[in-house]
Structure 1
Amino acid sequence: MTDLLTLEAEVRTDLGKGASRRLRHANKVPAILYGEGQEPVSLTLEHKNVFRAQQEEAFYSQVLTLNIAGKPVECLIKDMQRHPYKQVVMHLDFLRIDAAHKVQANAPIHFINEDVAAKTGANISHHVNEIAITCLPKDLPEFIEVDLANLTLGQTLHLSDVTFPAGVTSDELAKGEAHDLAVVTANAPKGKASDEEEEEAAAE
């Protein structure tokens, strides 16, 4: 995993659409590195290495290392353009990071014990598959686990129900209670009301 998160890169001075086209024909990927108040740097990476790395989930949420002219630079992937139908990475945007400065990233969600929740007869609906977070680079989680073992029929888990790793905060929750997004719901099967709905109906 570590090797896949370290990529060799070269500084490129030949810029423009024509130059990028020539790079792609040579199985290379044009990229740009920016952030931390420094000038943007145009880069070139080997497509085979990028393609292998981007197949890993951690590529999108973990700190990456670019070796540029022998000097390691830590960064995050901020954008990636793919060919509309070919298995080709067209362009990459990397954001420089500083170990002392917090970063914003999207952490994928891993739903665990979904089979346990499904045994209640519920239809499990995922409302989001990743969570916008803020933390120091050292605290970036590869993913965030959401345990569905105790999810009951008709229940919805929200961001406020998620256990975040130490040092990690939700960008949405930081905006206030109105942004407490639904994460997952155990829907009652069609034609069957949840216990909560049955109780409400009985009360009426």
Structure 2
Amino acid sequence: MTDVLNLKAETREKHGKGPARALRREGKVPAVIYGPGGEPEMCALVFNDLKKVVGKRSFFNQLVELDFGGGRTVRVLPREAQFHPVTSDALHVDFYRAGEHATVIVEVPVVFLNDLASPGLKAGGTLNIVRRAIEVHAPADAIPDHLEVDLTGRDIGDSVHISQVTLPQGVKPTITDRDFTICSIVPPTVAKE
């Protein structure tokens, strides 16, 4: 799990298109906090601080502590961000309140290791990736950065299922009714001349 990210925030009273545009002109990004523990709360973040982190894939799997000043902080998990279609700048961010013992549903990326130790890949097989990310239930304060799939000893025709992946303590896949496939090693395809 990565460290908790800290961002400065301020409460905002007005909502709608006009006030949101005014905030953006001031170098801020409108945001909303929702979830258990209170009513939805509107806030604004500093654009330059947010820009440094919102583009990273891990941003949506990382706990964020919003500092409102005066000793008030709120622990949240980023849920969604809207981006400008041309500049890719963040226009709005939605956060979900994450209490101390909360369990959240997140998508965790999959990392494939030891491809050089796979006889199937050495023989010319192709790694067919079925899932690049897996949706899991995880404790809010122990969200894994990634899940590792070891390809050591995998041959052509082998596949890796979720039951073969070691998950961190407290982390469970959201799909529980079947042993779904994460990847397989398929034979090389030869084009006819």
Instruction: Give me the TM-score of the superposition, normalised by structure 2.
Output: 0.88
Structure 2: runs of 5 or more not aligned: none
Aligned to 1:85: 86
Aligned to 1:15: 15
Counterparts of 2:25 and 2:184, CA distance in 1: 47
3-state SS of paired residue (1:150): coil
- Percent of pairs identical after alignment? 30
Q: How many residues matched?
A: 187
**1:160-187 superposed Cα distances (whole Å, 9 cap, x missing partner):** 22211111101112xx12xx32211111
Contact 2:37 2:97 in 1 (8 A): no
3-state SS of paired residue (2:153): coil
**Residue 145 of structure 1: how far off its partner (Å):** 1.1
**Residue 146 of structure 1: how far off its partner (Å):** 1.2
Moved >6 Å (runs of 4+): none
Q: How does 1:182-201 map to 2 (within 5 A)?
A: 182-191=181-190
Structure 1 residues 85 and 151 mapped into 2: Cα distance closer, same or farther (>3 Å)?
farther
Q: Please tell me the residue identity of whatever aligns with 2:61.
A: S
Q: How does 1:86-101 map to 2 (within 5 A)?
A: 86-101=87-102
Aligned to 2:131: 128
3-state SS of paired residue (2:33): strand
**Residue 2 of structure 1: how far off its partner (Å):** 4.2
3-state SS of paired residue (1:22): helix
Aligned to 2:62: 62
Counterparts of 1:10 and 1:115, CA distance in 2: 50
2:171 aligned with 1:168 = yes
Counterparts of 1:54 and 1:115, CA distance in 2: 33
Counterparts of 2:97 and 2:165, CA distance in 1: 29
2:145 is matched with which residue: 142, 146, 155? 142
What is the root-mean-square deviation of aligned Cα atoms in Å? 1.9
**1:49-74 superposed Cα distances (whole Å, 9 cap, x missing partner):** 11111233432212111112341211
3-state SS of paired residue (1:18): helix
Q: Please tell me the residue identity of whatever aligns with 2:91.
A: M
Higher helix proportion (structure 1 or 2): 1
**1:127-157 superposed Cα distances (whole Å, 9 cap, x missing partner):** 1111111122232111111111222112121
Counterparts of 1:39 and 1:66, CA distance in 2: 16
Q: Please tell me the residue identity of whatever aligns with 2:189.
A: K
Structure 1: runs of 5 or more not aligned: 193-204
Counterparts of 1:82 and 1:158, CA distance in 2: 35
Counterparts of 1:36 and 1:114, CA distance in 2: 43
2:47 aligned with 1:44 = no
Q: Please tell me the residue identity of whatever aligns with 2:122.
A: K
**Residue 26 of structure 1: how far off its partner (Å):** 2.4
Q: Please tell me the residue identity of whatever aligns with 1:112.
A: L
Q: Please tell me the residue identity of whatever aligns with 1:101.
A: A
Aligned to 1:201: none
2:162 is matched with which residue: 154, 159, 164? 159
3-state SS of paired residue (1:138): coil
2:104 aligned with 1:103 = yes
3-state SS of paired residue (1:38): coil
